[in-house]
Structure 1
Amino acid sequence: MERNAVNPWPWSLQLGYNQAELIKGMSRQLICAGQTAVDGEGRPQHAGDMRQQIALALDNLEEVLKAADMNLGHVIRLGIYATDVDEALKNFDLLGQKFGPFNNAPPMTLLGVTRLAMPELMFEIEATAAVKR
């Protein structure tokens, strides 16, 4: 699979994402549902703590990817939903810590929402991943 970053402006790279990526030669794609800060039984965790919720949502995303024999390096797009965008942005270093080792800055969209599926949840991340086999 060939990935080429498309960045007509460099400002998004400072925030950890590409404006777009041109993907060629993909043979396997995974569409992930939104991952949140829930435990293995689907119970919300870390009520009121955005940083811990982001960390757990990212861990849960990694588990979904792993179950499909993929990792964060295979992610080609992110959709992020937060009940407090400013608080989420303060903790985006967690995304850098997770995606940085893979040298991956997938295109993303961050949306502020009034609430998520369960009132305790503050952050949700969905991903599309792809590999060449």
Structure 2
Amino acid sequence: MPSEIKLVNVPALGKTAGYSHLAEVRGGRTIYLSGQIAVDAQGQSVGTGDFTAQARQVFENLRLGLESVGLTFNAVVKLTVFLTDMQYLPQFRAVRDEFVNTAQPPASSLVQVAALVRPELLIEVEAIAAAP
């Protein structure tokens, strides 16, 4: 992780489950990745009915976006996650942990939503990354 990025867990805010309380970024550039859904390069849905497959595609799409500007998941300082059902939380965490630095995970928010842009979708994730 670049030295200009500091991920912090504040003891007074309690223990976290796979995320940091805050991210401090000094200097450099900030990249905002739009919410990614489980679609392939042709815009076709991936993993219909399979949350884990959808989550993996979403994180692959985020990885591709980061790569396009010369970054990796180590540059991600914030994730915002939208799930259609909280029952998917364990599977989400398992897939997320394949991609992020679990020793210093990004700050995160997670909400349950009634629906996403396509009815077959179960997850959407947007990201903010910082680079020197």
Q: What is the TM-score of this pair, normalised by structure 2? A: 0.89
1:46 alignment partner in structure 2:
47
Give the whole-Å Cα distance in 2 for the aligned partners of 1:66 and 1:42: 19
Structure 1: gaps spanning 5 or more residues: none
What SS is found at the alignment partner of 2:126?
Answer: strand
For 1:81-131, what per-residue CA distance to the aligned partner results, in whole angstroms no more than 9, with x for missing partners? 0101221x1111111121137x44000000100110011111001001111
Instruction: Report % sequence identity.
Output: 28
Instruction: Give secondary structure in 2 for the equivalent of 1:16.
Output: coil
| Structure 1 segments of 4+ aligned residues over 4 angstroms from their partners | none
Name the residue aligned to 2:69: 68
Shift of 1:65: 0.5
For residues 34 and 7 of structure 2, what CA distance do their matches in structure 1 show?
24
Counterpart code for 1:11: K
Structure 2 letter corresponding to 1:90: P
Describe the superposition over 1:3-54 as per-residue Cα deviations: whole angstroms up to 9, x where unpaired: 2233223421xx21101122223x2111100111101111111111111100
Count of aligned positions: 127
1:15-26 aligned within 5 A: 15-25=17-27
Distance 1:22 1:30 in 2: 14
Partner of 2:81: 80
Structure 2: gaps (5+ residues)? none
SS of corresponding position for 2:35: coil
Q: Is the aligned partner of 1:127 residue 2:130?
A: no
Q: TM-score, normalised by structure 1?
A: 0.88
Q: In 2, distance between residues paired with 1:46 and 1:86?
A: 17
What is the CA RMSD across the aligned residues, in angstroms?
1.5
